Structure 1
Amino acid sequence: MRASLVRRSALAASVASLVLLASACGGSSDDSDSKSEAPNSSKSAPAAAEQSDVKALTAAELEKASLADGDVADHKIEKAGAQDILKAADVTSDKAECLPFAHALFAVPQGKPVASTARTATTEPKASDADTSGDMSDKDIDDAMNASMDVSSTMIDLASYEGGDASDVVTAVRKAAAACTAGFTATVQGDAQKLSGITEAKVAGGEEAAAWNMVAEQEGTKIPFGLVVVRQGSTVTTFTTINMAAALGKDVKLEQPTSVVDAQVKKLS
């Protein structure tokens, strides 16, 4: 599998390298988040009229409100590189009604934001319980490798809007998700990938919040993804998450980045 499935999903380069390894090893996974059966949880969307006087954050204000390294325990926060940022024209869908969902998943700001910025958040590898003081058994080696690969990377995109546009963006993504549960094909800078198994996940945060789990497939490799969309005031933030071990088909559930979402909402509040 080419690195584009993850790199062009605007996730960290380390995850892209792991996806290449997953392809070589023949790993695949249809698992979704353990909370995927739970209904979506969020506050009721306010009417657009109630948001008409909301002022958009400027580029400088949005940068200040974005996560920085040290804001989330056990996570490395970095500013996304230029190669990670996609434009609307870079992402298309075989079904027009699914395009808002595809744009959210691939961290493309919707509509006409006043400003936008992006970060990556990567969890620190978990420590293994395996005994490394002497000769390691095959199980110890497997446990150590699995622990080192149980790392999640999240692309965080923030976009600020004038008036009720931010709430409209969340509504559009919700509508697209509901219309596309049967799946669709998204093409990202020329590379087609099939998205299936789109299900709602439980999430809370901000003034509006929604989350989904899904599986992306390209060239026979299946990788579980998580998407969270949160609106706080005039800003919409999307969180796209992949887990390295899950990408390799390991018995690891993809968890939504709750601590990252909470920290980002706090900085925007």
Structure 2
Amino acid sequence: MRASLVRRSALAASVASLVLLATACGGSSDDSDSKSKAGDTSKSASAESAAPEQSDVKALTAAELEKVSLAQGDVADLKIENAGAEDILKASDVTSDKAECLPFAHALFAVPQGKPVATTARTAMAEPKASDTTTSGDASEKSLDDAMGAALNVSSTMVSLGSYEGGDAADVLAAVRKAATACASGFTATVQGEAQKLSAITEQKVAGGEEAVAWNVVEEQEGESFPFGLVVVRQGSTVSTFTTVNMAAAMDPSVKVEQPTALVAAQVKKVS
């Protein structure tokens, strides 16, 4: 797979683990998420009525944001770690061929939006069970392929948090939503100098926090499709973004990238 693309999605460590598991077995699998459709860009009545009150919201300090960020043990069966410095991108690392699409590109590649008072970043990965990735010494080629497929069928999520003053958190989510609608048919993001063609952005239903929105995203490169999942949630003065990949989904059309609902729920609970 294109390791550089996944690294720039701030999931290098997770993908490295998947590749090691796959090498131990040996096999294959390709995906494409379907057609794009712009979602409803209107805010809910509750979000609209709450907007004026946001001016009094105080941002969490760096220490406070660190305390409410996800940690190992917060979500069952997931390995949660601090993201490495090499996995965190700056705003200048990600550009767009269409200015109106930049907020979405930044959210997808875990770039802090606007002017956050503080930020944190975590990686979360569901580790495959040993029974799903081991085979006997005389295993058939199909068994090896099945084992490798199970090893790769693991979701990895980059969780990024930003705390904001006043109504900035609501503005950040609104900007990402607006960009997704304007760019639903696709655009090209350049990440650390390499172009990434995002061919489809489809809004999905999601629940969490005071405001939440999610999308399925398809990246095209060299004739292959690479699906992402993106969830953006606002709870008070904090915006959380969840970018999810699944290596098996990039190789097998029957495997879909699922929303990290357990992660979203756990993160919202800690911030609340």
2:159 matched to 1:156? yes
Residue of structure 2 equivalent to 1:170: 173
Structure 1 residues 38-187: aligned runs within 5 Å: 44-46=46-48, 47-126=50-129, 128=131, 132=135, 135-187=138-190
- In 2, distance between residues paired with 1:159 and 1:138? 47
Structure 1 residues 220-239: aligned runs within 5 Å: 220-239=223-242
Instruction: Answer yes or no: is the 8 Å Cα contact 2:31–2:255 preserved in 1.
Output: no
- In 2, distance between residues paired with 1:160 and 1:129? 39
Report which stretch shifted further, 209-218 or 182-191: 209-218
- In 1, distance between residues paired with 2:134 and 2:211? 46
- In 2, distance between residues paired with 1:120 and 1:130? 22
Partner of residue 191 from structure 1, selected from 189, 194, 216: 194
Residue of structure 1 equivalent to 2:4: 4
C-alpha deviation, 1:32, in angstroms:
5.8
Deviations along 1:30-56, whole A, 9 cap, x unmatched?
1369xx99x789954244321111110
Structure number with the higher helix fraction is: 2
2:236 matched to 1:252? no
Deviations along 1:56-92, whole A, 9 cap, x unmatched?
0000000000000111111000000100111111110
Q: TM-score, normalised by structure 1?
A: 0.88
Deviations along 1:146-181, whole A, 9 cap, x unmatched?
111111110010000001100011100110000001
Instruction: Answer yes or no: is the 8 Å Cα contact 2:30–2:248 preserved in 1.
Output: no
Structure 1 stretches of 5 or more lacking a match?
Answer: none
Count of equivalent residues: 264
Instruction: Answer yes or no: is the 8 Å Cα contact 1:209–1:229 preserved in 2.
Output: yes
SS for the counterpart of 1:157 is: strand
- Tell me: CA distance 1:92–1:133, structure 2 relative to 1, closer, same or farther (3 Å): closer
C-alpha deviation, 1:131, in angstroms:
9.2
SS for the counterpart of 2:112 is: coil
What letter corresponds to residue 3 of structure 1 in structure 2?
A
What letter corresponds to residue 225 of structure 1 in structure 2?
F
What letter corresponds to residue 6 of structure 2 in structure 1?
V
- In 2, distance between residues paired with 1:140 and 1:71? 34
Instruction: Answer yes or no: is the 8 Å Cα contact 2:59–2:117 preserved in 1.
Output: yes
- Tell me: CA distance 1:40–1:122, structure 2 relative to 1, closer, same or farther (3 Å): farther
- In 2, distance between residues paired with 1:241 and 1:85? 15
